[in-house]
Amino acid sequence: MRVDHLSSFAAGSARSSSASGVSRRTFLQAAAAAGGGLLLSLRLPFASGEAEAAGGNGFAPNAFIRIGTDEQIALTMPYVEMGQGTYTSIPMLIAEELEVDLKQVRLEHAPPNEKLYGNPLLGGLQATGNSNAVRAAWQPLRQAGAIARTMLVSAAAKRWNVDTRSCRAQGGEVLHPPTGRRAKYGELAADAARMPVPKNVALKRPQDFKLIGTPAKRLDTPAKVNGTAIYGIDARPPGVKIATLAQSPVFGGRVKRVDDTAAKAVKGVRQIVRLDDAVAVVADHMGAAKKGLAALVVEWDDGPHAKLTTEAVASELEQATLNSGAVAQNIGNVDQAMASAVTKVEATYYLPFLAHATMEPMNCTVHLRKDDCEIWVGSQAMAWVQAAAAKTAGLPLDKVIVHNHLIGGGFGRRLEADGVTRAVEIAQHVDGPVKVVWTREEDIQHDMYRPYWFDRLSAGLDAKGMPVAWNNRFAGSSVLARWAPPFFKDGLDPDTTEGAIDLVYALPNMHVEYVRVEPPGIPTAFWRSVGPSHNVFVTESFMDELAFAAKQDPVAYRLALLDKNPRAKAVLALAAEKAGWGQPLPERVGRGVSLQFVFATYMAQVAEVEVGKDGAVRVRRVVCAVDCGTVVNPDTVRAQIQSGIIFGITAALYGKITLKDGRVEQTNFDTYQILRMNEAPAIDVHIVQNFEPPGGMGEAGTSAIVPAVANAIFAATGKRPRKMPVDATALKQPG
Amino acid sequence: MAITIKINGADRTVDVDGDTPLLWVLRDVLGMTGTKFGCGWALCGACTVHIDGVATRSCITPIDSVGASAVTTIEAIGATAAGAAIQKAWLDREVVQCGYCQSGQIMSASALLATNPHPTDSDIDSAMSGNICRCGTYLRIREAIKQAAQSSGQGG
């Protein structure tokens, strides 16, 4: 998860875009805090040109650390908590260098408290996604903690008229051991604000970490077990009305005729709002709004996509891969190597559109007034929310006040502001605040979907069965080209290709091409594990196919290609060992393996699946070995891997959004199934300990599990799933 | 039509159609937002409350069907022995991620524990498989229920 969704795309890895590349003056400033204490304002990395331009030459802080006279340390920053544990991991970084107990650090809700800090939340590319919050904050937040500590020590030394080197910080206090004097941070904070900001601070050696690497308790959870946590959907500004809506069932269609007589007669219905392509019912409560919506008679003009089908989308992509695309990676000479290969292997793969289906349905509350607009929403991308609302309402950015909330599941859905635009459009017709809540059916049928992908691969093997040529050409939508156009260059973007290029294996001749095809009439968006959600499935399925063609064990085959990649080799060997790879299994039970290096994290998984006679697939057990560099909170790492695996199994076994007559066929959790408690496998997570910079953890588990399950199904049945999700009917035992 | 129901021990009177789902009375009329909306068709369990101790999907429960029964919501479940044990176990085991479904999970789990102090894995599957968690916290939910069962057992 990251503050700047694009920094890792630009830099390859956010860990390189730390404060070291930014002058100290623009990285951090210190001042007296309003109400006493020390206020550090800092700028977390923004690698994109747009964000830099938005900041101009001035110092544009986007995170604040306030050390209060009450000994409380408040951290305000634009990352959002959506369950991934960021509100705990991030304070750990500060607390470690500042030498305070984690309990003293309080992470304040984004957006910042404007009154306290006098700084509105900045625009620019401010978003949480792509497993990047810890990666982006790792260096600058520890530096900020060390700077604050140094200034507090300086303030104490000056007060006591002693050498700073004879003082040290410990447990939220500065100590002067020779004289036994001590002062709490709160007492020193105001003086510290007048100290010079040190130019260089030494960070702790990883061996000396006291907090980082320990399983800290989550800070955001107590309110989530007693009903007091407030999500966007729980916002209740005084006088709020509730609206629900029907959008054109075909993307791009319009409202032709509305008969609202029966709807208006429903008790509690206040108003029907007709837009070009949607109708909303505004009521006293959602029960009345839904009843009113059901009573509404709407005729639609389906527009140009009235006949669109998934098959047509797939066919267009398949055709597109017959022509060349943009070259994402070229190593050696594939054509030559292929010509000399002893064996040739070819395969094509299809990945479906997927909905996010966050448990909190889409919603947004808007109070549009003559000169300004207030928004209550849970978002991964506050800047997009503000911009979308300002544009729709015709207001300047600074007249849009956004209250961010806890997020009931993001997974990429809440990187989009379409729901905000829609809510503002409705609010333009409503006097007073209105909360627009989508039904689950609207949420699934008007999502912005993980793109459909088609991949065409071929490989040449030498006499020993090892790959001498690897060819991959794939077609699908570029989400980044829409979301942040500057990052789409020369037919490529770094998200779409992650996991398809820079593979962990030694492949002497490799050629990867991407053909951008935007499907008509269906919007696409980021989805948990983004580019790798597609690419890792394809590359790891194909690697398995090569091992089979070479008549070799899938783990041994991969290991033989990893001599130059010890971290990848180590996680693969560890996962295989812990999974009991090679040990006998009953009939129609199989193990499958996957290996990836994405989001700056190495991960190997072994899935064990059982395929029933009826073809039903049950994932019994998953073993995961992970090397994500320095682990900030090991319990969060485990939780995120468990979470990502369950999310990925849902996709592998059930996930598909299909179109017929331009309409999404799935409606609710009966037709868009989610893995349930009785289907959840045992999951063993093994963490490789080292002090490399931290890798991302929010998504890696998802991309790794899908090929592991597919490969296990092949091991169990001899049938290889090349079209996701797994088709149980094709796996039925004959006879 | 004015309807009076008993929620968390207090009588509450609301003026809505009798077929209005209890969920919206709780959330929008009474402002008790701890109970969540997920699907509207009893497919996900996010809206689970207790009616006379039985885990019930409030999104398909018409308000006029509640009658004199006692409704308990997440806001008050901590006052019951099973609810308190479940909430504690949820925190001890770090079950929660985004947290949105957890009100419903906790209501289903506490109803299970109140009637079955020592649930087996299969009991847990039966009681909990109606509750979807998109963050995939199932493994920890199972562990937490077992922990709560053990602690309740020791306590009484």
The 8-class DSSP code of residue B28 comes to I
A-interface mutation test, from B60, B75, B97, most A Cβ less than 10 A away: B97
Q: Are residues A431 and A470 in the same domain?
A: no
Choose the final residue of a domain: B72, B93, B116. B72
Which chain B residues are closer than 8 Å to A222 by Cβ? 91
Q: Tell if the CB–CB gap between B102 and A224 is shorter than 8 Å.
A: yes
The minimal CB distance from A225 to the residues B36, B91, B142 is found for B91
Residue A289 C-alpha, separation from nearest chain B C-alpha, in angstroms: 10
Calculated CA dihedral for residues B24, B28, B34, B40, nearest 10 degrees: 30
Q: Are residues B94 and B147 in the same domain?
A: yes
Q: Read off the pLDDT of each residue in A591-599 and give the average, rounded to a whole number.
A: 97
pLDDT of residue A58: 55
* Euclidean distance between CA atoms A470 and A671, whole angstroms: 38
Choose the final residue of a domain: B45, B72, B99. B72
Q: Are residues B58 and B87 in the same domain?
A: no
* Euclidean distance between CA atoms A356 and A557, whole angstroms: 35
SS3 A618: strand
The minimal CB distance from A226 to the residues B44, B75, B131 is found for B75
Q: Tell if the CB–CB gap between A287 and B135 is shorter than 8 Å.
A: no
Which chain B residues are closer than 8 Å to A406 by Cβ? 98-99
Q: Are residues A583 and A482 in the same domain?
A: yes
Tally of domains in chain B: 2
Q: Are residues A176 and A324 in the same domain?
A: no
pLDDT of residue A88: 84
A95 close to A214: Cβ distance less than 8 angstroms: no
Residue A544 C-alpha, separation from nearest chain B C-alpha, in angstroms: 27
The 8-class DSSP code of residue A293 comes to H
A362 within a domain of the structure (yes/no): no
Q: Are residues B16 and B33 in the same domain?
A: yes
A246 within a domain of the structure (yes/no): yes
pLDDT of residue B70: 98
Q: Are residues A186 and A324 in the same domain?
A: no
Question: Given CA atoms A119, A123, A129, A134 in this order, what sign does their dihedral have?
Answer: negative
Choose the final residue of a domain: A394, A415, A437. A437
Residues of B (3-32) whose Cβ lies below 8 Å from A? 16-17, 19-21, 23-25, 27-29, 31-32
A-interface mutation test, from B48, B135, B137, B145, most A Cβ less than 10 A away: B135
Pairing of strands A682-687, A617-627: parallel
Which chain A residues are closer than 8 Å to B46 by Cβ? 359
> Could you read off the pLDDT of A200-209 as tens digits, one per residue?
898 999 989 9
Calculated CA dihedral for residues A626, A631, A633, A635, nearest 10 degrees: 20
Helix ranges, A550-656 (H) = 554-559, 566-579, 634-653
For residue A489, count CB atoms less than 10 angstroms from its CB and return exposed for 0-12, middle for 13-18, buried for 19 or more: exposed
The minimal CB distance from B17 to the residues A228, A236, A267 is found for A267
pLDDT of residue A86: 79
Q: What is the DSSP string of A166-224?
A: G-EEETTEEEETTTTEEEEHHHHHHHHTTSPPPS--PPPPGGG-SSTTS-PPPSS-GGG
Q: Are residues B51 and B112 in the same domain?
A: no
The domain of B112 spans 77-155
Question: Does residue A152 surpass a pLDDT of 50?
Answer: yes
The minimal CB distance from B136 to the residues A84, A226, A647 is found for A647
A388 within a domain of the structure (yes/no): yes
A681 within a domain of the structure (yes/no): yes
Q: Read off the pLDDT of each residue in A364-381 and give the average, rounded to a whole number.
A: 95
Q: Are residues A520 and A429 in the same domain?
A: no
Which chain B residues are closer than 8 Å to A230 by Cβ? 33
Q: Are residues B93 and B55 in the same domain?
A: no
Q: Are residues A139 and A269 in the same domain?
A: no
> Could you read off the pLDDT of B23-60 as tens digits, one per residue?
999 999 999 999 999 999 999 999 999 999 999 999 99
Q: Are residues A494 and A562 in the same domain?
A: yes
The tokens describing A667, both together, are 């409606």
What CATH number has the domain bearing residue B12? 3.10.20.30
Helix or strand (DSSP H, E) at A28: strand A28-32
Question: Given CA atoms A392, A398, A401, A407 in this order, what sign does their dihedral have?
Answer: positive
Question: Does residue A46 surpass a pLDDT of 80?
Answer: no
Q: Are residues B57 and B91 in the same domain?
A: no
Q: Tell if the CB–CB gap between B38 and A221 is shorter than 8 Å.
A: no
Q: Are residues B85 and B67 in the same domain?
A: no
pLDDT of residue A13: 29
Nearest to A201 by CA among A138, A140, A136, A150: A150
Calculated CA dihedral for residues A173, A177, A178, A181, nearest 10 degrees: 30
Q: Are residues A53 and A106 in the same domain?
A: yes
Residues of B (96-125) whose Cβ lies below 8 Å from A? 96-103, 106, 124-125
Question: Does residue A733 surpass a pLDDT of 80?
Answer: yes
Neighbours of B15 (CB within 10 A): 11
Calculated CA dihedral for residues A387, A388, A392, A396, nearest 10 degrees: -10
Which chain A residues are closer than 8 Å to B74 by Cβ? 226-227
What CATH number has the domain bearing residue B104? 1.10.150.120
Q: Are residues A463 and A603 in the same domain?
A: yes
Q: Are residues A616 and A695 in the same domain?
A: yes
Residues in chain B: 156
The minimal CB distance from A668 to the residues B39, B75, B96 is found for B39
Instruction: Tell me the pLDDT of chain A averaged across its residues.
Output: 90
Q: Tell if the CB–CB gap between B96 and A224 is shorter than 8 Å.
A: yes
Q: Tell if the CB–CB gap between A221 and B131 is shorter than 8 Å.
A: no
Q: Are residues A109 and A59 in the same domain?
A: yes
Confidence of residue A384 (pLDDT cuts 50, 70, 90): confident
State which amino acid sits at residue B60.
Answer: I
Q: Read off the pLDDT of each residue in A297-317 and give the average, rounded to a whole number.
A: 97
> Could you read off the pLDDT of A670-696 as tens digits, one per residue?
999 999 999 999 999 999 989 998 988
pLDDT of residue A435: 98
Which chain B residues are closer than 8 Å to A407 by Cβ? 98
> Could you read off the pLDDT of A639-676 as tens digits, one per residue?
999 999 999 999 999 999 999 999 999 999 999 999 99
Which chain A residues are closer than 8 Å to B94 by Cβ? 217-218, 221, 635, 639
The domain of A654 spans 310-353+449-731
pLDDT of residue A16: 29
Query: pLDDT: is A552 or A4 the higher one?
Result: A552
A210 within a domain of the structure (yes/no): yes
pLDDT of residue A4: 30
Distances in Å between the Cα of A278 and the Cα atoms of A249, A281, A433 are 9, 10, 19
CA angle A280, A286, A292 (to 5 degrees): 50
> Could you read off the pLDDT of B119-149 as tens digits, one per residue?
999 999 999 999 999 999 999 999 999 999 9
Confidence of residue A234 (pLDDT cuts 50, 70, 90): very high
Q: Read off the pLDDT of each residue in A52-63 and give the average, rounded to a whole number.
A: 53
B79 shares contact with chain A (CB less than 8 Å): no
pLDDT of residue A31: 86
Residue with tokens 């006379």: B52
* Euclidean distance between CA atoms A374 and A109, whole angstroms: 17
Tally of domains in chain A: 3
pLDDT of residue A547: 98
Q: Are residues A542 and A679 in the same domain?
A: yes
Q: Are residues B67 and B82 in the same domain?
A: no
The minimal CB distance from A359 to the residues B29, B96, B100 is found for B100
Q: Tell if the CB–CB gap between B41 and A224 is shorter than 8 Å.
A: no
Q: Are residues B58 and B109 in the same domain?
A: no
Choose the final residue of a domain: A199, A224, A249. A224
What spatial distance separates the first Cα and last Cα of chain A, rounded to whole Å? Answer: 49
pLDDT of residue A109: 60
pLDDT of residue A129: 66
Distances in Å between the Cα of A341 and the Cα atoms of A337, A459, A500, A505, A539 are 6, 9, 22, 18, 19
Q: Are residues B62 and B123 in the same domain?
A: no
* Euclidean distance between CA atoms A233 and A243, whole angstroms: 12
Residues in chain A: 735
Query: pLDDT: is A219 or A275 the higher one?
Result: A275
pLDDT of residue A453: 98
Cβ-Cβ contacts under 8 Å between A and B: the total is 196
Q: Tell if the CB–CB gap between B131 and A677 is shorter than 8 Å.
A: yes
The tokens describing A726, both together, are 């797994």
> Could you read off the pLDDT of A81-92 as tens digits, one per residue?
777 777 788 889
What CATH number has the domain bearing residue A156? 3.30.365.10
Choose the final residue of a domain: B23, B44, B72. B72
Helix or strand (DSSP H, E) at A684: strand A682-687
> Could you read off the pLDDT of A479-526 as tens digits, one per residue?
999 998 988 999 999 999 999 999 999 999 999 999 999 999 899 999
Q: Are residues B57 and B89 in the same domain?
A: no
Choose the final residue of a domain: A387, A415, A437. A437
Question: Does residue A77 surpass a pLDDT of 90?
Answer: no
Q: Tell if the CB–CB gap between A268 and B17 is shorter than 8 Å.
A: yes
A371 within a domain of the structure (yes/no): no
> A524-536: b or e for each residue (b if 16 or more CB lie within 10 Å)?
bbbbbbbbbbbbb
**Is the ipTM, as predicted for this complex, more than 0.85?**
yes
> Could you read off the pLDDT of A457-471 as tens digits, one per residue?
999 999 999 999 999
Q: Are residues B144 and B83 in the same domain?
A: yes
> Could you read off the pLDDT of B49-103 as tens digits, one per residue?
999 999 999 999 999 999 999 999 999 999 999 999 999 999 999 999 999 999 9
In chain B, the residue whose alpha carbon lies closest to the alpha carbon of A217 is: B94
CA angle A632, A643, A501 (to 5 degrees): 80
Q: Tell if the CB–CB gap between B136 and A675 is shorter than 8 Å.
A: yes
